[in-house]
Amino acid sequence: MAKATASNGKGIMIATRETTKKKKKKKKKEKKKKKKKRAVTRVLEITANVFSSAFFRRASSTPLRAFSLPIAAAASFQPKPSVAPSLSPLRITGQARGMHSKLVIIGSGPAGHTAAIYAARADLKPVMYEGFLALGIAAGGQLTTTDEVENFPGFSKIQGATLMDNMRAQSEGCGTEIISQTVGKVDISSRPFKYQLHPMGDDNTLEDEVHTADAIIIATGAKARRLDVPGEDKYWGNGVSACAVCDGSLPLFRSKPLVVIGGGDSAVEEAVYLTKKASKVTVLVRKDALRAGKANGRRLSTHPKVEIKYNHVATQILGEEGTPKKPGLMTHLRIKNVKTGKEEEIEANGLFYAVGHEPATQLFKDQLKMDSEGYIITTPGTTETSVEGVFAAGDVQDKKYRQAVTSAGSGCMAALEAEKWLVEQDSEITNGLEAENQAERSQANGVVPEYRSNPLL
């Protein structure tokens, strides 16, 4: 390369030409770079469009790989209040076409995950909607709201959330596609079944895409009713519970005075169950009589460890202050006689609500047979609902046992039944097509085929 020197005019000229050449080259390089950058951006844009297309196997605008909220985050997240009743449950009229799946599982408790494990192992490629704080419950279901579980076989003691994390990992490992959205609307009036999703964190609207499925397993669970007694949130899991059979045996309740709220048969069952471990069980009944059956009422009122307080309600849950690391435990309950207005404080290390459950069946109202309390009715001994191809498992169809292990058991049944049903559908279609082909061949040979309106018949 020529070097420009002050004594050499030619040299200067050469140098200037060289510099101009260099500049031009640099400009060209930059232009090329810019062009390349633009091309990359375009590719990215196209990719993004493809990924957000309704035909990509994912639920619309959410990340492909779903995530579950840690319980603490879930507890502090306040979803917008649901206005589900304004969304009519029937006849989906969304605009865009979504994805189609052979089997969709709605709900992510023990029933949903067990169904998913079985279905995935049977190559049904199940898609699970685990919910985004559906009903205010984190993905994973009711067990994520409790501390220790001591009655799930295989684990003498395990955190509820850990157990559900394990189940989730197992169903995903088997091949289940898990989507962290809540199903907001379902139409099971014709096949394939149709459904739409709520955008994440917004239960007031529905996404445009209408997804379809050949079969559905409903595992949306139930929610124990709470009473919103002051102190309830603070001592939930630290004295306050909604399941005596689940939590009653925990060390914090052993040989301690406990309180049950409720006057129905389940309240009696729970109270009697608690007497095995507690020093005393007080039952608060809002009215002046029990709603429970006579035999149950007698069982309760004659029990030496039980005191029934009629016309009483709880007004405040009291206990230790605790620290963020070690939360305080409940120690007392303030109660009120609704007839006299008199208040008193009683010693209580545990408070168990037995005021009923709400099954998460709003989505299927007027579309499936349900009992007076909204539980889905299944054919006894099966998970079949009143609509062929729709199966129900877990607490959503069981108001008697309501346990993780019974839910898991019915989830297994639902997957096996769904698999059998899908296979039958496939073979019916294959038989129908074969018959059609046979008819065509016969027609070609001049034989008039028997008239049939439906190849499946």
Contacts with ligand FAD by CB under 6 A lie at 106-112, 129-131, 134-135, 137, 139-143, 145-146, 149, 151-152, 182-183, 219-222, 224, 241-243, 246-247, 360, 363, 394-396, 402-405, 407
Cα gap 82→153, rounded to integer Å:
36
Closer by beta carbon to ligand FAD, 134 or else 258: 134
Alpha-helical (H) ranges within 174-259 are 232-235, 244-247
Question: How many helices (DSSP H) and strands (DSSP E) are in the chain?
Answer: 9, 19
DSSP state letters, 249-268: TSGGGTTSEEEEE--SHHHH
Q: Which is nearer to ligand FAD, 89 or 455 (CB)?
A: 89
Active-site pick, 187, 203, 214, 246: 246
Smallest distance, ligand FAD to C-beta of residue 152, A: 6
What's the min distance (Å) between Cβ of 290 and ligand FAD?
23
Catalytic residue status for 174: no
**Which residue in the shown chain puts its C-beta closest to ligand FAD?**
221
CB-based contact 412:115 (threshold 8 Å): yes
**Residue number, 33 or 157, with CB nearest to ligand FAD:** 157
Residue 353 C-beta: closest distance to ligand FAD, Å: 9
Edge-to-edge strands of the sheet including 330-337? Answer: 312-319, 330-337, 343-347
Q: Distance between CA 60 and CA 62 in Å, rounded?
A: 6
* Residue among 187, 203, 214, 247 flagged as catalytic: 247
Compute the least distance from the CB of residue 343 to ligand FAD, in Å.
28
The CA radius of gyration of the chain, in Å to the nearest whole number, is: 31
Rounded to whole angstroms, the Cα distance separating 376 from 80 reads 27
Distance CA 286, CA 68 (A): 39
Paired strand residues for 444: none
Indicate which residue of 187, 203, 214, 243 is catalytic.
243
Q: Give me the least distance between CB of 135 and ligand FAD, in Å please.
A: 5
Q: How far apart are the first and last CA of the chain?
A: 88
Which residues are known catalytic residues?
A: 243, 246-247
